Structure 1
Amino acid sequence: MVFGGDFLHLFEAVIFGIVQGITEFLPISSTAHIIIAELLLGYNFPGLAFEIYLHIASVFAVMLYFRKELVAVVIGFFSYFREKNTENSIQFMFGLYIIIATVITGGLGVLLKGAVEEAMKTPAFIAGALAVTGTALIIIERFTKYGDRREEHMTFMDSVIVGLGQTVAVLPGISRSGSTLVTALWAGLDRDTAVRYSFLLSIPVILGSTVLALGELSSDMWAAIGVEALFVSFVVTFVFSWIGIVWLIDFLKKGRLLYFAIYCYIVAILVFLFVQELPPGLY
């Protein structure tokens, strides 16, 4: 069933919303899970229009959940030009590090866009990328000592490292949240700062991707998928994104990234063995 065919059924719209919402901020790659859901349900949405659309719902959930932190960074960033006190300085630098990482990701992402085409949206590639994500989580969990640096101790190099790590997530199966968490922890940030930095970084990255994909978010998508289905998938994505944020933050206070690594390996094996590609010509 290709984009431009039958409407997306409401039940399937709910499934896509749940999958996107739950997996967006967990270090297990939402893109991989959306593609897997497409393959299992027999859908194929050319381009990134539907994925970007669902990502907008996820970023709304982040903005609402982290509204106090977001407002503090924005106010502190611009207030710094007027009053250079300690608090404004910390927020200014934190905001600057978000901008630097975003620029790195956006610039390299545009350059790599041509290489990240539909050919990479295959079960074999996704399985391999999930395995890479799992391996990175194991390395940071088992062989790297967690740091204790917070926002006020961050450096320019931290934003460069995280920005480069985030860029790798343009590959289907590589988790954006996972790559930013791993690189932030590897750089020596403490868990709370790494998580907060990862979540706030998702806002400009997703909004920037949306701007770049505006041409794909056309009336054709609404006509092909159906207004009701798109509305339902958006609302469900927002709700489950919120649930995913709350759950991940609570989990990381006492849980271990190793469990996500095991999950990535299990899904990678199942995808490689049992998920079949769409027939030639649908990609």
Structure 2
Amino acid sequence: MATGADRTAFGPMVIVAADQHEARPLIDDPWARRLLPASGRLAAALTKYRPIRRALIAPTEKKIPGLWASMLCRKRYVDDALRAALDEGGIEAVVILGAGFDTRACRLPALAKIPVYEVDLPANIDRKRTALTKALGRVPANLTQVPVDFNTENLADALARHGYLPGRTFFVWEAVTQYLTEDGVRRTFDFLATAAAGSRLVFTFVRKDFLDGTRLYGAEAAYTEFVRKRPLWRFGLAPDRVEAFLAEYGWHEREQAGPEEFTARYLRPAGRDLPVSEIERSVLAEFTG
């Protein structure tokens, strides 16, 4: 099912690749540029020059103020939560829902001996497999790619066909929920409700008050493009309703992070004076059953 979401995988990785040229990158990711197509690799290489980096940031910030830092911070947030869960022990697998060109299976040494399942639209899976083969000569041995459409296909069946065994799992669901219908989101949570106790989940969501036009947070251009003209963004949540929503499926909200948390935790310590978007938030949750 082509919705336009299958064409959004490259943008975040261009931003990550460009950030490698900063004095203190928010994410250490030598793989981001290597997995991009030729045009993306060229753009990322040119961003070593500060004026070009600024020129790339400007249109991003015009559409959604704070988007550049938001993308970087949410990835760092996922990384930190994943490392913490692995350090605690007991995580048997990692499932990345809507993986796009995510590089965690390559760049996080702690994942080398843990099964990682990347779930995404078939078109993105094909592109990613080609990119990995070109960059590495192969797909990493611990990585299994699972093509699926969250809106129409059964996630549990797709994972099972590719060897996933239910156990204590760390689920990553980054920058995906807004592209789904509510039914699609709930079907995914029906699957997540079968997780083993102690499983963890980090997911992001777009604020419902932005999607319904109540508050636009300076992102009028994004609202016009993604909500009104071509409704790519369809699902949102109110921040104060996340805990109740998760509880329907046996999950408990451990933490919710947005601009204030990201600025204090990542940007200020790195000496980075960047705004963070108000329209997207990240959640760390644990399955309690």
Indicate the structure whose relative CO is greater, using CA pairs within 8 Å and at least 6 residues apart. 1
Structure 1 or 2, whichever has the larger Rg, is 1
Between structures 1 and 2, the one with greater helix share: 1
TM-score normalised by L of structure 1: 0.25
TM-score normalised by L of structure 2: 0.25
